Chain A
């Protein structure tokens, strides 16, 4: 093997890679946050809603979880313009990731809804809790504690695997930025080894942060890696 590693060009463009990493992080956070809102809504419908709405939620979950995220984003980016709807490539990635995460989070949160113990709700009722107070003090903490480890894992999945799909429709997140830069001077190995390290650092920081948050807020132990 006589490949001559030259990391100089990578360091020269390190700022651009960091911009990509920052965009990756933002996409991951917003996709996850949007997915949580959809997931909460759909999981409460699945638990407490009438059957036509439950059927709608089931259709959405089955449709999304059985097709690749890339296809969903291609549909938004290449398909919708045919129908006269034209979103920017960043918007397509973000909306696609939100819809995708929403379906998986519906399934994760649904398990949390099922973990709420009826007898605690009855205790709450007889102590005089209103419906809103039951949700605030009993239901949400239960769900949070039950599903927190799964949520933390899923955030990492969105952060690393989800966002990198953006590269394929020209969004300059970390992977996209690395592709752009390496195709200028063909230092693929150098760029992608550095990018791999940045991804690892990103997920490590996110994992530690989430583990500490979980311990502090919900008394749950989350594995780091």
Chain B
């Protein structure tokens, strides 16, 4: 039984159908990379999974349990199991770093304050930010803010982590510090779906690559197979272009 399965998922923005029946699945502890040209619907897949963009067809299951996005209870359970990290970090600008990480565990999960704080300190140390607990987001670099966003997502102990181009807003020299944190999570067996243009990194950590174009999955497979010997013309063209340089 897959950890999470996306079955013929459809979504629209207004009249524009952005996902035209997307299917893929991920096993527990796996890392799946969604790749494809800009505008192909990768972000929309992740947004749909956490209920930010409405589902107009198909379904999503976690451990074979269908998520009913229309039911607030089912949606809450889904959001308990999944956490998302956005390209633009989306930290709470009015809160200190430590509060960004503890606010959801304390206010929503009602965990004891000191327990949540200890947990947050451990996570922030893991992403290399033990010395920034009392800073505000606007006092950190982009890479540091992105690592806070990862710690904030992990503080709810999700079973599945969704990462949407978490390095593409960063200066090149800051990319590695964020990738290191993700690498560590992969080693620890976290189930992750990541959207990324860092093909070398995808090849290194992903167990499976799902190539999307125009709102559909064109081809999926092992990274080395998809990158080096794609079966479809569209994938050959895409990977040929971005892997050559």
Q: How close is A216's CB to chain B, nearest CB, in angstroms?
A: 14
Q: How close is A187's CB to chain B, nearest CB, in angstroms?
A: 52
Say yes or no: B52 contacts A125, CB within 8 Å: yes
Q: Given the complex of chains A and B, what is the CA–CA distance between A124 and B153 in angstroms?
A: 11
Within 8 A of A (CB), among B75-117: 76, 79-80, 82-84, 86, 88, 90-95, 103-104, 107-109
Q: Given the complex of chains A and B, what is the CA–CA distance between A124 and B95 in angstroms?
A: 13
A150 located at the interface, meaning its Cβ lies under 8 Å from any Cβ of chain B in the complex: no
| 20 A-B pairs in the complex with CB atoms less than 8 angstroms apart | A117-B90, A117-B93, A120-B90, A122-B86, A123-B92, A124-B92, A125-B51, A125-B52, A125-B79, A126-B83, A126-B84, A127-B152, A128-B80, A128-B108, A128-B109, A128-B156, A137-B95, A138-B92, A142-B94, A218-B94
B-chain residues with CB within 8 Å of residue A122 when the two chains form the complex: 52, 86, 90
A-chain residues with CB within 8 Å of residue B94 when the two chains form the complex: 138, 141-142, 145, 218-219
Our count of residue pairs bridging A and B at CB distance below 8 angstroms stands at: 60
Say yes or no: B90 contacts A119, CB within 8 Å: yes
| Known contacts A133-B107, A137-B103, A137-B107; is-contact A126 B52 (Cβ 8 Å) | yes
Contact-size category for A: 10 to 19
User: B96's closest neighbor in chain A, by CB?
Assistant: A219
B-chain residues with CB within 8 Å of residue A137 when the two chains form the complex: 92, 95, 103, 107
Q: Given the complex of chains A and B, what is the CA–CA distance between A36 and B91 in angstroms?
A: 28
Say yes or no: B86 contacts A128, CB within 8 Å: no
Q: How close is A121's CB to chain B, nearest CB, in angstroms?
A: 9
Task: Given A126-B51, A127-B103, A218-B94, output 20 extra A-B contacts at Cβ < 8 Å.
Answer: A119-B86, A119-B90, A120-B93, A123-B92, A124-B92, A125-B52, A125-B79, A126-B50, A126-B52, A126-B84, A127-B79, A127-B83, A129-B107, A133-B107, A137-B103, A137-B107, A142-B93, A142-B94, A219-B94, A219-B136
B-chain residues with CB within 8 Å of residue A120 when the two chains form the complex: 90-93
Instruction: Choose among A123, A128, A142 the residue that contacts B90 (Cβ–Cβ < 8 A).
Output: A123
Q: Given the complex of chains A and B, what is the CA–CA distance between A39 and B94 in angstroms?
A: 22
Q: Given the complex of chains A and B, what is the CA–CA distance between A109 and B222 in angstroms?
A: 53
Say yes or no: A128 contacts B92, CB within 8 Å: no
The 10 closest A-B pairs by CB, nearest first: A123-B90, A141-B94, A127-B104, A119-B90, A128-B108, A126-B50, A126-B84, A128-B79, A122-B52, A120-B90
